[in-house]
Amino acid sequence: MVDPKRHQQTSHSSLLGLSTWFTCVGIVFLLLWGGALQCYRRKRERRRGDGFLALDDWEPHIRGITSFTGIVGIIVPVMFFAQSFMFGGLLAAFEGWTYEDGFEYVLGNAVGIGPLIDMQPSAHLGKAGNIVVSLLSLIACSTVLGLTATSATALQLITGVDGLNKRVLCLVLFLIVPAMLVILAVASGLIVALLEDWTVLYGFLFMIGNLCGVQTPFTQDTPQTVEGNFVTCLCFTLELAVSGVIIGIIGDHPALHNLMDFLEGAHSDSANQLTTDSLDDLLKNESWEVRMATAELMGKLGNVMYAEPLKAILNDDVHKVRDAATAALALLAANTFTDPDKIWDVSADKEVPIDLRLSVSI
């Protein structure tokens, strides 16, 4: 095993230097990547699907993987490192520590692996600062969970799982996701084991215990090298990203919505709870005033899912309803797509001019 004393003198400054190098390289890469995409976008009109990390021209899975990799692999670690740079220095000033000590203390707590140094704030000002830093770390972790839960990759998984039955949902949550965590623990444990001169089993036990948040460690060994601690920090940020995807899948699945309706009751009276099905039912109401008002509401909401139901009333018996549907489709196109004269034809799976949509048979 590695002797901890052998790395005691160089661990602080080297870990700080490695984190600084990663942060600088990550920021430069993001700027170059975003700048290149911006130069490409200038050659054409900006589209709704264009982002800083991806373009609307790309296939959905390519966009999702690219943006997810940029968020998890660069933005999230840089965010934690930047937080540690800032508040580590403040904590060090309060306690009279070196800047390296403060950085490591904040970094270890920010990513959730605990202090990387055997020091604790003792001054009242230092304890108060530690509380503030801990709260900010909690906010940062929550932000990471929110980012990954709403990322394109997570939304693609959510969309796929939403249409599956409860058995498949259980298969995803209790087999596929745990398998992903085990694979992550094996891969990261192998890297840490090589860096720390551990056995592969020790590396796996260390990472799986920490990734699962086990309070009693499966092994008493902890990384002592700079590289080992750095890899551990990066792996913990990746674990947060995986947790965010899990939260997104569970939180947006109809099974959980049904459970909340059972516990709290349905919130059908809330405008935020309006669904495509409920609005579609209103379009079939016997009162033409209700149909017209519903069409106008769909246009204002600007949801692309309302395009198909609106097509069904373009041939309504009441001309006011037909006019409302046409206006709603135009408003929907203006709010949702780059070309205000076009709307998404679900059956054709492409944008078509609105005037042509009037002749589409339903």
Show me where the domains of the chain are located.
Answer: 4-251, 271-357
Q: What pLDDT score does 20 carry?
A: 93
pLDDT at 339: 44
How is domain 4-251 classified at the architecture level of CATH?
Orthogonal Bundle (1.10)
Cβ–Cβ under 8 Å, residues 298 and 307: no
Position 96 scores a pLDDT of 86
**pLDDT tens-digit series, residues 270-280:** 444 445 557 77
pLDDT at position 169 is 67
Supply angle C-alpha 167, 169, 174, rounded to 5: 95
> Helix, strand or coil for residue 304?
helix
Instruction: Identify the pLDDT of residue 266.
Output: 62
Q: What is the pLDDT of residue 307?
A: 77
- Tell me what pLDDT residue 360 has: 35
The pLDDT score that the predictor gives to residue 157 is: 59
* 203 burial via Cβ count (<10 Å: 0-12, 13-18, 19+): buried
Asked if residue 312 lies in contact with residue 362, where contact means CB atoms within 8 angstroms, the answer is: yes
**55-64 long-range CB contacts below 8 Å, 24 or more apart?**
60/152, 60/156, 61/156, 63/152, 64/151, 64/152, 64/153, 64/155, 64/156
Which residues of the chain fall below pLDDT 50?
1-12, 162-163, 268-274, 336-349, 354-362
The predicted structure's pLDDT at residue 166: 61
Interval 73-107: pLDDT, tens: 898 899 889 989 988 888 888 888 889 988 988 88
The pLDDT, as a whole number, for residue 313 is 86
Of the candidates 117, 108, 118, 56, the residue with the CA atom closest to the CA atom of residue 87: 108
Domain 271-357: give its CATH superfamily.
Leucine-rich Repeat Variant (1.25.10.10)
pLDDT score for 31: 93
pLDDT score of 194 = 92
Give the model's pLDDT for residue 253.
Answer: 66
